[in-house]
Structures are given as structure tokens and as C-alpha cells.
Structure 1
Amino acid sequence: MLINAAEPRRLGTPDAGTPRLRFETETRTTATGTFPTRRLIKIDGEPAFELGVWCGSCSFLFERLEGSRETLSLEEVQDRLTGTLTDADDEDLLRAFGEVLPEGQYLPLLLHIEPRLAVPGSEGDYFSEEQVATWGVSQFWGIAESPRTPYYRTFETEIDASAHLYEFVVPMVPPTWNDEERVEEYVELMGRGTIPTAVAVSTFGVFEPAVSPPDNDQYAHWCLTHFLLDGHHKLEAAARAGRPIRLLSLLALDEVLATPEEWARLPELRSRPRTPRPARCARRVRD
């Protein structure tokens, strides 16, 4: 559920100010031109996540790399985030988290989410179910893609017969790194009715294969991905207890792999009821 959305606004630290989190695209130059090879999220200058590139038919991707070793939580706003945020246009929070992000245009979205932990290769994993049902397994590796990290699935809905929206929350460190006592504290807090708030920087892309095998389920995958800045213990507690939390998403508009008309639909799409893709269209990879 969408609580509310703010107008796009400029946030972040100029490159000269060395923000802790940066987006970077690596390229390769040939006789026919320069082409992107890898899109990265870097933390403190080290590659933390590889993101998918847009090639017209490439599949969606996020993959944890060795530079993803710590969270970007801010101590000075913890009291605010323990409670329930009501407005995406919260000046204090936007300014505080803007200091760890690169300068650019961001769309603040305040979302109500009910996270479910997904483990690569297990039941409920997007990469070995919905993605394989459309693209098949990796042509090079012969297996499903892997994000190399547990992550949370939070929402999906039908856009139309030829497109579906999927939403993911990706922790900077795996849940096994969380402090168990803090997780249990949030479980207890949520049990008393509190709905705490997490914060993420987000990316969005629209992906569809040029040609799918005849038996595959071909449609456009609209993928909204939230990389968690603050709230790792809250997400695990919510998933464990089956409780909702709120997520302040800062969608990096300079990094979207979609048209302005497509990303502008996100607030409306995120307000729709949750609707899974029909089960007959999903196919997992099994031995």
C-alpha cells in the first residue's frame, strides 16, 4: 500500500563531497561505440552490488558483492524511525539520508510493506521462479541467476496482461549478521501495535526478453528494488512476526531503466491491491 508520495526533489552530496553510496556504470569501448558492461552500487568506494544493464532483452538483476559489509544507519534519526512515519516529504529525514547519497533527482515514496524473506534457490525466490519462467536459465551457466544474498519480497501486482510489477527489499548485510536481541526487541514492539519505519534508496527498471522459448511466460517485468539504508533489524523482525512496517523509499530517478511515463505510474501502481501472477505461469528450476 502507498501511504503517500512527495514531488521529485534534488537530494544528495555532490561527487566532490564523496557520498558514502554512489552509482557507477562501467563501460567498454569498441570500434562501433561505447557500451555499458556493469552498473554498480558502491559503498565507500567499493563495489557493493551489481545491477542489471538495459540491453533491450536483458533480465533483471541485483547481486551482492564483497563491498557490501555494513549498513548506512544514522544514529541521529533512530528515535524518529522507531515510530510510524506519516509523510514521505519529511524534511529532516530527507536531508539526513541525502548526505549519504549522490546528488541527483529522487522521488520519495512512503510505503506500507509486509516483508517475506526469500532465499536464492528456495521456494518463493523470484530468480528461480518468475524470472526462469520468462527467460529460462542462464545460457552461460545453465542455472538460474542468483542475487547471492537473502532478500525480502514485499509486493507485486498486475499492470495488465503483458506486464507485472515486482517489489524487493535488499539488505546491505544478510539477516544472519543482525543482532538477535535487537530483532526480538522489534518483534515485541510490533506485537504491541507499533509500526516502525525503515529507509532505502531505490532503483526501478522495465525488463522483457526479445524472444522467449515457446513454452515460457513472456511479459514485461517492472522491478522496483529498495536497497536498505536503515532498518535491517526491523525488516527481519517484521518478516519473522508477520507484521507490517513502513518504508521511506528514495527512488533514484537518474538511475531508472524506464521511461518517465513508466516510473511516473509507480505511485498509482503501488496503491493497487496485491495481485500475484497466476501460478500456472510460474515455473521453478528443479533437479
Structure 2
Amino acid sequence: MLLNVEPVRVLGDPDEPRLSFSADTETNRERLLLVDGKPAFELTFWCGTCQILFQRQEGSTETFSPEGDDPVEAFGSLLPQGDYQPLSLEIRPRLVQPSGAGDYFAEEQVETWGLDSFWGLPVYPRTPYYRTFETPVDGEAHFYEFVVPMVPPSWNERAQVEKYASDLESGDVATAVAVSILDVSAPAGADGPDHYQHWALTHFLLDGHHRMQAAAETGHPVRLLSLLAVDSGTASRPMVERVPALRAQEPGRR
């Protein structure tokens, strides 16, 4: 459910942000989410026909809780300076294990791109992650949403997860925060019912890891404040501008 959309805001640290996006547009490769200059996630290549990707790297080892009265400004201060679309969402996360039931990379992605041509295996994200929402874009494209933790659920403190689970059972709706990107890709020269454009809205979870796990375990909703980086995904700006409307649609599968 889409709860609120704020106007696009200029946020971020122009000098030394803790999180940043790095890309080599000349080779269409090496898109990275960096934490303190270290690779935290490898992202979808720029080519426009490459598979969707978020693959955890060694720099993804911590969560973030900046102080401030305005959470948009507080979390925005961690990010590189740029345009961000704040979105308030209500989600029902479902925890997925790589290559397990419901894994996007082993199911929908393989249906469209097939197995990796070199390894002969599905793409491996190196992390459990949450699936939350999907809906058709049109007859030739489909929208998928993921919440990717900066640290795996196995690192969470069990007592904290149980506390938030109890709070959710009592009716409390907790809020998590993420920086998000929209990547859009489709295989080159392919046709047929399984070959369509994939729109991937990926939320990299900055704060709320225990809350997210508790929501997944109890089936209760959790709120997510998404700071959608307008110019950091492979999607064009007009595509990013469609995200609020797509996110307000009824969920559905192809």
C-alpha cells in the first residue's frame, strides 16, 4: 500500500557521504553501492539487457541510525547529494532464501533470461532478502519490489525480533528506512510470454532490520520510508516518476 508521496527533494552530503553509488558507464559494468568507500552490493549492469542484480559484498556489515527530528533529512545526510523521492509504504515482507522457494533469481529471472551462461546457475545474491510487492506495468513489463538487508537476518538479536513481534501483535506498526533504486532491464532480441521487461524497485534497508524480520515472521505489515534515488538506477527519470502510481496499484502477477 502506498501511504504518502512527498515532492522530490535534494538530499545528501556533497563531499563525503557514508553511502554512495559508483558506476563505470563506459563498460556497462561495475555498478556498486558503497559504504564508506567499500563495495557493499554489486548492482545491475548499465547495459539495459543484463539481468537484475543485487549481490552482497564484504562492505555490507552495518546498519544506520542517524539522529534528527526529520527522518528524511537525517537519513538523507548519509547519501550522496542528489534528487530523492520520499515514499511512505506499507509492506508485508516475505523472507526469501537464495535458490529457495519464491527466489526471484531462481524463478522469474530464469524464466526470462535463463541460467547464467558461464556458471549454468541462477544469479546468486549472497543474502536472504524480502519480497513485498509486484504488479504489471503493462503488457510487456512487470514491476517487482525487494527489501535487501544490509546485514543478514541471522545477525539480528533474537530478543529484539521477539520484542518487535510482540509489538506488532499488539497493533503497533513500526517504521523501517531504506535507500532505493529502480533498475529496468529486458533481454536483447527475445520474445515469447516469459520474455518481458523487469522493473526492479530495490530498497536497501538502512534501519529497521529487527522490525522487518518480526513483520515477516508474524505476517503483520510494517511501514517503510523509502528514499528513492531518482538518478542512481538504470531506469530513466520518467520511469522513476511512475513508481508512486505503480506502487498504488493492486498487487498482481503475470
- Secondary structure of the 2:163 match is helix
Corresponding position of 1:229: 206
Letter in 1 for 2:232: E
From the two aligned structures, give the one with the greater helix fraction. Answer: 1
2:71 paired with 1:73: no
TM-score, length of structure 2 as denominator length: 0.96
2:93 paired with 1:115: yes
Larger-gyration structure (1/2): 1
- Structure 2: stretches of 5+ with no match in the other structure: none
- Secondary structure of the 1:199 match is strand
- Secondary structure of the 1:169 match is strand
- The aligned runs of 1:240-279 (5 Å cut-off) are 240-277=217-254
Check conservation: 1:163, 1:221, Cα contact below 8 A. Answer: yes
Q: CA deviation at 1:73?
A: 2.4
Corresponding position of 2:197: 220
- Secondary structure of the 1:14 match is coil
Q: CA deviation at 1:11?
A: 0.2
Letter in 2 for 1:36: N
Give aligned-pair identity as a percent.
Answer: 54
2:102 paired with 1:124: yes
Corresponding position of 2:20: 22
Corresponding position of 2:174: 196
The superposition leaves residues 208-256 of structure 1 with CA deviations (integer Å, 9 ceiling, x where unpaired) of 11133x7761111011000001000000000000010110000011202
- The aligned runs of 1:58-207 (5 Å cut-off) are 58-74=50-66, 76=67, 92-207=70-185
Check conservation: 2:30, 2:43, Cα contact below 8 A. Answer: yes
Q: Would you identify which runs of 4 or more consecutive aligned residues in structure 1 move more than 4 Å? A: none
Corresponding position of 1:36: 28
- Structure 1: stretches of 5+ with no match in the other structure: 28-33, 78-90, 278-287
Check conservation: 2:148, 2:204, Cα contact below 8 A. Answer: yes
Take 1:68 and 1:261, find their aligned partners in 2: how far apart are those partners?
30
Q: CA deviation at 1:108?
A: 0.4
Check conservation: 1:2, 1:271, Cα contact below 8 A. Answer: yes
Take 2:168 and 2:64, find their aligned partners in 1: how far apart are those partners?
23
Q: CA deviation at 1:35?
A: 2.3
- Secondary structure of the 1:255 match is coil
The superposition leaves residues 110-149 of structure 1 with CA deviations (integer Å, 9 ceiling, x where unpaired) of 0010000011100100000000000000011111001110
Take 1:5 and 1:51, find their aligned partners in 2: how far apart are those partners?
26
- Secondary structure of the 2:74 match is helix
- The aligned runs of 1:36-55 (5 Å cut-off) are 36-55=28-47
User: Bigger shift: 48-57 or 137-146?
Assistant: 48-57
Check conservation: 1:73, 1:231, Cα contact below 8 A. Answer: no
Take 2:48 and 2:28, find their aligned partners in 1: how far apart are those partners?
13
The superposition leaves residues 137-177 of structure 1 with CA deviations (integer Å, 9 ceiling, x where unpaired) of 00111110011100000000012221110000000000000
Aligned residues: 254
Take 1:135 and 1:23, find their aligned partners in 2: how far apart are those partners?
26
Corresponding position of 2:49: 57
